[in-house]
Structure 1
């Protein structure tokens, strides 16, 4: 339901509708005081404003609201002679430009030169042409006899094919105001000012600072990006929310219609979520929030910021509350089966990581077992698996290609192994690398705020559910498969070690069962979402890495499937997974990603 509109809103709506009809009939009537000349109004390339320089001597298509206000062009400037309207609303006397389109979340730059014969203020706004007259930018400037250049950068909180640029002269003494070089131009997307990218970067820095498993980190990313997405959807009205569409009303009159700031809404949602999730780890995001504020567009007032923060806080609260009892805090100990051949047992002296994560409530899936793969090699139990030739073949493959002293592994395969590793403290872990690659593609494709809110939201939800699905297969089936280092030691004795190693060169194997590969599941989910979002796999990009054993390495990916498949195979070369771990992980992840894309954050 639309918010109640004050009588003054109704009056102005009638005025604007009448003005629109008069603009269309300006050649037949003289209701508007615009001086019409037979010179076509044009705009510079990319400029939304027609005849903002007045070089052709015409005032067309500019109009005025009051018959007592006159507009003429003199020396290439628009001269606006206003009548006295002291005590009247600021919108009592207007000069405006109708019907140009603005896009939600698109950054724009409004510029104009202005001076006056007396010191006075001038209010300028870009807004909807009808109730509730929501302003994308609304600023007041001080005019003197000296010409000044005014510039306001802003991101429209809504999309509207018929927006209006208004100069408000009401409520002041009579004067002559000179306007020139009026322009409204879309700005190129600047990743540095995108709050989605900014807070994702803060998240990745947090990953590096904390040694959290990919299970926990993927869950926290999903809450963060879902909240930011819901904040953006609530402010702009574009798209469908994940958890909540925060109601946004527009109180006030035409003098003060306050639209929530999109940036403030996203910033507050992110800050509240990160603070709630990471304070227990000793992390503070106050400095990060201050930096985010500095990145906001200039044309936003305090009231718009306050309303945006209210929306963002509500989006954060709803998404945090939804995960309050999702079983992610289940600390039930894992019953290690030390004496069962084939069963996982601790490596590197570390206890099982996240043994109950497959029981966590998914973000989109119906359960962690929704896409559960069959047991490895079609086995029925440990004894059956260890007796299969396929098992022996895969153990030998890891032994031959994934060992520290392998003579078969190529230099490129070694690079692949470490490039996709990200297992160690100080790295952004597997979800972080895939977020990093999402950022690379986003910047390459010049996505805006709303597109990034949806893309990163989908990726985050898919990665979170990929973790749940992978850990379900690792711990919740009848085979919790031992790692290659344990399998090889059982048949060949001690001595073989995987290529995988710590920063100090100590052999390292992640502390959870092998089947299925978490890396492969994450990669499959990511590739499915990316292909769904962009509608193709044929998007090449140069991928980067955070692992200390592949510093500065960049690998060229021909598409999302290429990246996912290389990621999955890397675990064989690293010596920590079998081929069926990789293949089943990829398939499971792709099912997860396809499901998430089809059922969440739909446009």
Structure 2
């Protein structure tokens, strides 16, 4: 089965990603919110933003759309103008809402994904709008979004490269303490000067070009959040320290988990990864899930504007908290810890398809269950961003819909693995999520199956993400009810 996203891009099906949550319409129709959300996800697959940058971009775009819509609602307050853009009752029509939302979305999209402008122009044409607003509703949409963009251009993300040259480049002076790990060779333990700290990987990328990782977004914990007071508002314990029993135990547990992977667990690992070329990035996964909910519940524009606004900002806030902690602890990934602890020793590795027994390897060559061009992400381990994104996004969807009911499923084709292409899984595997909670849990544990995260990173990422989701949704509800934020400091004249 080819995904909706794959069809839109004209791409062949991505291995082990037969369909994403939310890919299949279930009775609703695509309103302008869904069409612009899809356009954002398609832009994400063609560009190379990291997870926190994607989370921010989705939140900024949906904030622009929300603020434009709020001007045409009888009660809601926008994030920048509060209620000062409120239009007269006679103007609060569905047509004007659609137009204002579209111009806001377009204004945000060309700012955040500038290389994708021709495709955004094409969507505007398909919706029947010129790229320059010709009416009052379009002007309101542009005005609302430009206020959001002004505030976000100075939020610490360095989107425009004015703090340090290069879009989203680090301006904090981060430098890794360890030398890179050559993943294609047995580990040289001298490269890991501090076994508790992050180590870059030197590997071949998907185009076969040698690359050495650079830490992705070490400054992203300092970005201005939506509802969080600071990245460390919700406290979590420090990760296990090198030399402790907990450090050795967590490495042993991941080694054993990956050594006993079933076909189903391999599918779970790959399905939820959503990383690499042609994928929507983990924050985009939850926009896809929100799309499923919209179509399932036959949402209108009013519901979708609010749901996507709250959900994307919760995921955005979780990215800030996670990247703050990642930078603070700078913690080691399983591939480095396991190779360091077990180098020169014979250990079990994940079973290759067709083998009746475990593969036994030199621990210094241990490899997570990941494609060779994407061995481990280019940032520190603790806590798990996947887990926090999922918990925050899923929590908002539970609260918005008033139920934990989810109800999606996907069948992954035999042989569609990116790690073991043509060989795994041996048979079609169907994943089902009756509840948002089950999806949150499976999303988190997928990182353990993939050898990307230790168990503590998943558990504390999940617990923190849920709290962030609650806080973000409660903040959004105040805006829905018309309570203007102190940040609503733009003039409405």
TM bucket, shorter chain: 0.7 to 0.9
Structure 2 CA distance, aligned partners of 1:195 and 1:373? Answer: 39
> How do residues 14-53 of structure 1 correspond to structure 2 at under 5 angstroms?
none
Q: Deviations over 1:441-488 (max 9, x none)?
A: 111111111000000001110111111000011002xx3111000001
Structure 1 CA distance, aligned partners of 2:225 and 2:438? Answer: 27
Match of residue 463, structure 1, among 290, 310, 315? 315
Query: 1:370 aligns to what SS in structure 2?
Result: coil
> How do residues 55-74 of structure 1 correspond to structure 2 at under 5 angstroms?
none
Determine if the alignment matches structure 1 residue 359 to structure 2 residue 222: yes
Distance 1:272 1:282, change over 3 A: closer
Query: 1:558 aligns to what SS in structure 2?
Result: strand
The alpha-carbon deviation at position 238 of structure 1 amounts to: 4.1
Distance 1:337 1:440, change over 3 A: same
Aligned to 1:549: 418
Match of residue 195, structure 2, among 341, 355, 358? 341
Match of residue 278, structure 2, among 426, 440, 444? 426
Aligned to 2:470: 594
Distance 1:197 1:238, change over 3 A: farther
Determine if the alignment matches structure 1 residue 321 to structure 2 residue 160: no
Contact in 2 for aligned 1:499/1:507 (Cα 8 Å): no
Match of residue 374, structure 1, among 237, 255, 265? 237
Distance 1:284 1:370, change over 3 A: same
Aligned to 1:222: 59
Contact in 1 for aligned 2:28/2:296 (Cα 8 Å): no
Distance 1:524 1:284, change over 3 A: same
Structure 2 CA distance, aligned partners of 1:484 and 1:223? Answer: 33
Match of residue 311, structure 1, among 129, 136, 140? 140
Query: 2:61 aligns to what SS in structure 1?
Result: helix
Contact in 2 for aligned 1:246/1:311 (Cα 8 Å): no
Aligned to 1:497: 367
Q: Deviations over 1:469-522 (max 9, x none)?
A: 00011002xx31110000011111221101111xxx446110101000110010
Match of residue 332, structure 1, among 151, 165, 172? 172
Query: 1:587 aligns to what SS in structure 2?
Result: helix
Normalising to structure 2: TM-score of the pair?
0.73
> How do residues 552-563 of structure 1 correspond to structure 2 at under 5 angstroms?
555-563=431-439
Q: Deviations over 1:293-336 (max 9, x none)?
A: 38xxxxxxxx9x71210111111111111212111014333221
Please identify which structure carries the higher helix content.
2
Determine if the alignment matches structure 1 residue 450 to structure 2 residue 302: yes
The alpha-carbon deviation at position 249 of structure 1 amounts to: 4.6
The alpha-carbon deviation at position 416 of structure 1 amounts to: 0.7
Distance 1:593 1:248, change over 3 A: closer
Distance 1:291 1:500, change over 3 A: same
Structure 2 CA distance, aligned partners of 1:522 and 1:422? Answer: 13
Structure 2 CA distance, aligned partners of 1:585 and 1:334? Answer: 23
Contact in 1 for aligned 2:197/2:330 (Cα 8 Å): yes
Aligned to 1:397: 253
Q: Flag the structure with more relative contact order, 1 or 2, with Cα contacts below 8 A and sequence separation at least 6.
A: 2
Contact in 1 for aligned 2:70/2:86 (Cα 8 Å): no
Mark the structure with the bigger radius of gyration.
1
Aligned to 1:564: 440
Aligned to 2:490: none
> How do residues 259-278 of structure 1 correspond to structure 2 at under 5 angstroms?
261-278=96-113
Contact in 2 for aligned 1:196/1:266 (Cα 8 Å): yes
Aligned to 1:286: 121
Q: Deviations over 1:326-363 (max 9, x none)?
A: 11014333221112121111123201010111111112
Structure 2 CA distance, aligned partners of 1:210 and 1:554? Answer: 30
The alpha-carbon deviation at position 400 of structure 1 amounts to: 2.0
Contact in 2 for aligned 1:420/1:545 (Cα 8 Å): no
Q: Deviations over 1:344-400 (max 9, x none)?
A: 1112320101011111111221111111412124xxxxxxx2233232222112112
Query: 2:432 aligns to what SS in structure 1?
Result: strand
Q: Deviations over 1:204-252 (max 9, x none)?
A: 000111121011111111110011111112113243323334524559x
Aligned to 1:481: 331
The alpha-carbon deviation at position 189 of structure 1 amounts to: 8.1
Query: 1:367 aligns to what SS in structure 2?
Result: coil
Please identify which structure carries the higher strand content.
1
Distance 1:558 1:428, change over 3 A: same
Aligned to 1:577: 453
Distance 1:282 1:250, change over 3 A: closer
Normalising to structure 1: TM-score of the pair?
0.60
